Every structure is written in C-alpha cells, then in structure tokens.
Amino acid sequence: MTLAQEFNSLNGLIVSRKTLEDLLIKAEKEKNTIISKRVIKVLQAFKDDTFLIEINNLVEPYGLNGVKKVTKKTPLKIPITNLFEVYTNKNKKRTKVIKKAPVTKAVTKPMIKKNTVVKSIAKPIAKEKIVVAKPNLNKNSLAYKMANKPKNVNYFKIDNKDISDFLGKIEIQEKESVVITLTGGQGSMKTRMCFQFINTFAQNYKVGHASIEEHPESTLYYDKANEYLNNQALIDTEAPVIKSVADLDKLIRNNDVIVIDSFSKMQEMQKGFEVDKDLRKKYNGKLFIVIFQQTTDGKMRGGSKSQFDADVVLFTEKKSDYRENYIFADKNRYQSKPLDTLKFNIFNKKLVSIQAENRTESKTKKKLSFTVN
C-alpha cells in the first residue's frame, strides 16, 4: 500500500494519536509535504488521544507536490499513450502533453527544476471540522458522543461554602433539568431549610418560590423571609400565589431555580403530577428543589418513584431539641464525598462535624433516632 493509499484509507475511521504520528514519520521519510502538513494540523489542533477522521479531498499518488516540467534536453522513457500534466508560473494553465517513446535509447540527464509551481490537492482542514459526523456514522454510538461531548461544563455557582460542600457540584444541564428532593416529617424544619437554599441561589440566579403549603402573603411567610433572606435574595426571589399548574409553569419559565413546597399540593392540583415528566424532562437547564412529606415508615409521601427519578435525595433528621435537626443525603449524583460524612445543621446553618458528633455518641452510648409526629 502506498503512503497516499494509507492516508486515504483513514477516511471515516476512528484512529489513535499514535497511528497519525506513525503516518507522519513515514511522510517525513518520503518527503511527502502535503500529507505531512495535513497530519501535523490535526495533531497540533487537538490534544485528544483518538480522532474521528473525515477527508474531504483524497490525496492522489501523482499529485502530492505538483509535477516538474521536463525540458527538451531530458528525454524520458514512457509509454506512447501516457499523459501527464504540467503547471508553470508563466501561463498558469493546465496543458496536456503527449510524449512518444524515443526510438533510440535515451540518455537520462539530471532533471532541471524550472518554473515549477507546487499545487496542493488537499484543501486546508478547519480545526472545528476535524471531528464531524458522516451520513453513514451512528450518532448514538459512544465513540461519536465521546468525540463530540461538550468541552465546557457549567455548574451552579454556590457562594455559601457549607451548602456548596454539602450539595457538591450541581450541573447546569443543556438538556433536561436537575431535581433535588427534601423529605421530612412535621416540624422537622423543611421549610426553613428551603429558605436557606433560596437565599444561597438568589445571590447568583433568579429564584421562584412556589409556596403552596404556606401562603406567600401570610405573616408566617414574611417572618421567615425576613429571617433568612438578605436584600439580594429579596430582590431576585419571586413568590406568586400558585393556584394551578399554569401558574407553576409561568414561575418556572421566569426563573433559574424553583423551590416547590410541596409535592403533595401539586398532585392535588393535577392528578398524576410527577417529578420526572412534569419537571425534570419538561424543562431544560433548571434546578428544582421539591419538598415531600414523610410517611410514618420514613418514606417520601406519594413519591416513591420520585426518589428514583431525583438527582439528589435529601432527608431531615428530627431531634428532641430542634436546634439539633439536620439534613442528610440518601442519594447525590453530584457528590464525590462519602454521604454518611455530610450532615447540615438547619438551625446553625452549618455542616455538622461528624468526628465531634461521634465522640459525643461514644460517651452517651446513644444512637440516632427518627421520630414522626
């Protein structure tokens, strides 16, 4: 196989960086500048280990560096019907020349390079088109998706370090949305935790609060807003009265982060309302924080399916002293730390020191308990 044939055979294949480097070495040895330049552009433009190659213009063996013009003093032994092309600076026109084989034995002299123009067959390859989809390629293949995955991933900016460490890096998805569920029994301070989430995200995003359990124009609501929200959060938080799914839809479209209190109230408004189909997959790039009531056996009321669909599943732990109530994660797709080491104290607004808590438990010899009123 010639070097040109080897280069052309890469069309439509996924090759490794080493394959291209080996091809470059061969091209340098054969002084094939066209193939060398094209391979170098690919290697310099991308730092990936694999490449999905599409060659828009195949390389022809006889046209890599142009054709040298032959003078009258240099007869060549060639077949009678052979055609070749000559390019000169003078007329810049393509001229077909027919050479007949000489009758007598030709004396070959060194060829003289005269007015020869190097004409590249290949067009320059744009950097952004190195990895492209051919019509016959499977766009659902893992190879295609990996080669075309987004290079920059955006995450929600969380300035509060304790909440940031607790939640991890929450992705802003281009397609579909992220759902956080918070489940707890009566009096476990779920709503107060939600106000802390609202205050945190409202520093950088527009937040919509669907407060259905507690009327957003009540004294109870205003007292919590005054306690937990700073001026920036008060400005960038929208809390309309939600009486229908249409009201909720409008709130969602107007904001980046949406807090819904609670899921059971949404099911009362619309029978069959689900976290997955009505929130996560219906909207793109949003972050939903949805409150669930807890059953007597410690599960999400009306939301067993939602527990599987949600990206982050949080529960409250209710203590006899409300100042010790905390939330913990039962599932978190965006957290790299062990979940059993992360507890957030709702009253103190801080992460709990697990080591300190363990020392206290070892002295009192008591285990954590969960009580539902």
Average pLDDT score over residue span 221-246: 96
Top pLDDT among 127 and 160 is at: 160
Q: Which of 169, 227, 172 is nearest to 198 (CA)?
A: 227
Note whether 128 and 48 are same-domain residues: yes
Note whether 40 and 173 are same-domain residues: no
Note whether 44 and 175 are same-domain residues: no
Residue 155: inside a domain, yes or no?
A: no
Note whether 22 and 132 are same-domain residues: yes
Q: Tell me: the pLDDT tens digits for 73-110?
A: 444 343 433 333 333 344 444 444 444 445 445 445 55
Average pLDDT score over residue span 258-264: 92
For residue 209, the cross-strand partners are 259
Q: Residue 181 has what pLDDT? A: 94
Q: Residue 305 has what pLDDT? A: 67
Residue 325: pLDDT over 90: yes
> Which amino acid, residue 241?
V
Residue 250: inside a domain, yes or no?
A: yes
Note whether 358 and 214 are same-domain residues: yes
Residue 358: pLDDT over 60: no
Average pLDDT score over residue span 21-31: 88
Top pLDDT among 356 and 153 is at: 153
Q: Residue 204 has what pLDDT? A: 96
**Which domain, by its residues, includes 50?**
3-62+123-147
Find the CATH number of the domain harbouring 186: 3.40.50.300
Top pLDDT among 259 and 78 is at: 259
Top pLDDT among 358 and 373 is at: 358
- CA 169, CA 156: separation in Å to the nearest integer? 7
Average pLDDT score over residue span 133-142: 69
Extract the tokens encoding 352.
């709990």
Residue 359: pLDDT over 70: no
The residue behind tokens 């090759």 is 15
Average pLDDT score over residue span 128-155: 71
Residue 55: inside a domain, yes or no?
A: yes
Note whether 113 and 194 are same-domain residues: no
Residue 154: inside a domain, yes or no?
A: no
Residue 69: pLDDT over 50: no
- CA 180, CA 314: separation in Å to the nearest integer? 7
Residue 160: pLDDT over 90: yes
Q: Residue 136 has what pLDDT? A: 62
Note whether 233 and 324 are same-domain residues: yes
What's phi and psi for 304, nearest 5 deg?
Answer: -60, -40
Tell me what percent of the residues of the chain surpass a pLDDT of 70. Answer: 71
Top pLDDT among 359 and 298 is at: 298
Residue 18: inside a domain, yes or no?
A: yes
Is residue 292 within 8 A of residue 262, CB to CB? The reply is yes
Note whether 129 and 241 are same-domain residues: no
Work out the mean pLDDT of the chain and round it to a whole number: 78
- CA 373, CA 370: separation in Å to the nearest integer? 10
Residue 373: inside a domain, yes or no?
A: no
Average pLDDT score over residue span 41-67: 71
Residue 327: pLDDT over 70: yes
Note whether 288 and 222 are same-domain residues: yes
Note whether 288 and 308 are same-domain residues: yes
Q: How many domains does the chain divide into? A: 3
Winning range, highest mean pLDDT, from 15-24, 146-155, 310-319: 310-319
Q: Residue 30 has what pLDDT? A: 87
- CA 101, CA 110: separation in Å to the nearest integer? 18
Number of H-type helices and E-type strands within the chain: 13, 13
Note whether 274 and 310 are same-domain residues: yes
Q: Residue 82 has what pLDDT? A: 36
Note whether 356 and 215 are same-domain residues: yes
Average pLDDT score over residue span 253-271: 93
What's phi and psi for 364, nearest 5 deg?
Answer: -85, -20
> Which amino acid, residue 321?
D
Residue 289: pLDDT over 50: yes
pTM of the model: 0.58
Q: Residue 363 has what pLDDT? A: 44
Residue 201: inside a domain, yes or no?
A: yes
Q: Residue 323 has what pLDDT? A: 93
Q: Residue 135 has what pLDDT? A: 53
Residue 152: inside a domain, yes or no?
A: no
